[in-house]
Structure 1
């Protein structure tokens, strides 16, 4: 391992460490108490974000439980370069929000469709003008329900006093960028962002640790899928899941860990569909997004009891060697073992995936012989399969990894295992 790689690894270990997070939280809390500032959480709201429609329903009760003030900030325009495929993301997020609404007992129109753009503009300007209203969340929920059902008459009536200027929206969007994030449906508290219902449990735990909560964690239902396996393992055994992933995606690393667990506990067949990383397909990952992903994966891994942070970035040659060797193992039925060991190696053990010694260590961890090194596929062969997998993923309606496909159900994200189980039950 070169000196530069070693420095990057040590930096990543510190940046993703629990010690760093605890220190930063202690400093923030100490400063807050010394200056006698109340606990305030900033919430970024966008009316045509379906995840926001769920957030406005739960935040008032959340605020009461923890004695925190939630300050809404309405945004309209998000950085375009943060989303590689906005159209697919928009269509998928509506379906996904419907699933989340059912999981958490929230309201979301079953017939929701992409809102009217003119109505969205009016709604943003009106809500920006009532950010200080004590009933902001109730107003936002009512307007959002009308928007998602394209009830334009109600939207017009509700927003008829909208301020037509963009000043406050622009200021809020600048604040979002300044704080270091890029998405709506996010909460910001003490240097950390929490995106959507999926990450509210992290904030619940943090506030409980600070002694201001009720000691309960209500928003961890998406983590309880393992308990379902105990009741379902016989009924779903032998059924199959397709998993599209990239070895350079830390979320894919978690997804592979979960897939391996599901295969072992429930006898489910995992069909692997590796794809090339975004950067190796000529796409970019903005620095703000990269930082958030790294920190988010770190806290997700901590909650799930998965090692993470000793990183040896597999971008480039390491990815190519993983694909060449991995596709060979898939052919013989050992793909899950190899790719799980590889991603675990580069994301949590600091193994160099470019070298023979590193790959031999990964193969050993996968209980595979080092003789597999001689079976690696030529680049033109594995590249052709990877490109086919990429097209297949896009045609299914997803744009990113990890993506799980169960029959006709497509699920994006390692945090959708609960929905994977639901789809398996209905397969």
Structure 2
């Protein structure tokens, strides 16, 4: 029997995606599920809708930061708001698809998120800052940069983003279990419940066909 799949639309500039990547792990292990990452260019979507995060009311921005630090404390995560925020994430999104070719997409994404959201390393927005991560994963950095910067990969990121928009994705992290959509880091209970229902349906189908 194949593993159930959980899709996650993500962007490296998303604080909530950092938490979602951490919090979904025990759920994936519980259900022996596979995480499928789908890059989603939030900056492109924001610009298309004339939305600027940092122009939100200051009180709301302060409250968001306080809330994020509460999440970090609750789950004992070394999260911090980087001094340089926001960053352009297009090279990271491209890089993830290059690393997919090597079967190292998730490891790459996790290391990038840790570098930025735990260490405050904003150099990951540039290929020069991504090269040490790639090298540590055993991949040739020149090969990585050449592929990530290619039109082929740029088109893949655009297709992934457009596909997300067509599916109703309006922000990240957006998580899909089959056709059920869950938005945000605080929907893990619902993801868990849906995977449980999926397993029950699969079990019933197996019994009926036996």
TM-score bracket, normalised by the shorter chain, equals 0.7 to 0.9
Shift in CA distance, 257/379, structure 1 to aligned 2, threshold 3 Å: farther
**Aligned alpha-carbon RMSD (Å):** 2.7
**What does residue range 185-200 of structure 1 map to in structure 2 within 5 Å?**
none
After superposition, the C-alpha distances for 1:359-400 in whole angstroms (9 at most, x for unaligned) are: 244346xx5125245223235333322222223222323311
After superposition, the C-alpha distances for 1:94-144 in whole angstroms (9 at most, x for unaligned) are: xxxxxxxxxxxxxxxxxxxxxxxxxxxxxxxxxxxxxxxxxxxxxxxxxxx
CA distance in 1: counterparts of 2:110 and 2:31, whole angstroms:
18
CA distance in 1: counterparts of 2:81 and 2:142, whole angstroms:
24
On the 8 A contact 2:16/2:173 being kept in 1, the answer is yes
Residue 256 of structure 1 corresponds to 21
TM-score (norm: length of structure 1):
0.40
CA distance in 1: counterparts of 2:127 and 2:118, whole angstroms:
19
Shift in CA distance, 292/270, structure 1 to aligned 2, threshold 3 Å: same
Query: Number of matched residues?
Result: 188
CA distance in 1: counterparts of 2:87 and 2:153, whole angstroms:
17
Residue 401 of structure 1 corresponds to 172
Give 1:324 shift.
2.3
Residue 34 of structure 2 corresponds to 269
CA distance in 1: counterparts of 2:76 and 2:142, whole angstroms:
31
On the 8 A contact 1:255/1:414 being kept in 2, the answer is yes
CA distance in 1: counterparts of 2:125 and 2:169, whole angstroms:
30
CA distance in 1: counterparts of 2:78 and 2:106, whole angstroms:
18
Residue 167 of structure 1 corresponds to none
**Larger Rg over CA atoms:** 1
**What does residue range 348-387 of structure 1 map to in structure 2 within 5 Å?**
348-351=118-121, 352-354=123-125, 358-363=129-134, 368-369=137-138, 371-376=140-145, 377-387=148-158
Give 1:251 shift.
0.4
Residue 63 of structure 1 corresponds to none
**What does residue range 240-255 of structure 1 map to in structure 2 within 5 Å?**
240-255=5-20
Give 1:274 shift.
1.0
**What does residue range 210-229 of structure 1 map to in structure 2 within 5 Å?**
none
Shift in CA distance, 290/332, structure 1 to aligned 2, threshold 3 Å: farther
Residue 204 of structure 2 corresponds to none
Residue 315 of structure 1 corresponds to 87
- The unaligned stretches of length 5 or more in structure 1 are 1-235
**What does residue range 134-283 of structure 1 map to in structure 2 within 5 Å?**
238-264=3-29, 266-278=31-43, 281-282=46-47, 283=51
2:98 maps to which of 310, 314, 328: 328
Shift in CA distance, 263/242, structure 1 to aligned 2, threshold 3 Å: same
TM-score (norm: length of structure 2):
0.76
Shift in CA distance, 315/250, structure 1 to aligned 2, threshold 3 Å: same
Shift in CA distance, 260/327, structure 1 to aligned 2, threshold 3 Å: farther
Residue 342 of structure 1 corresponds to 112
Kindly indicate whether structure 1 or structure 2 has the higher relative contact order, using CA contacts under 8 Å at least 6 residues apart. Answer: 2
- The unaligned stretches of length 5 or more in structure 2 are 199-210
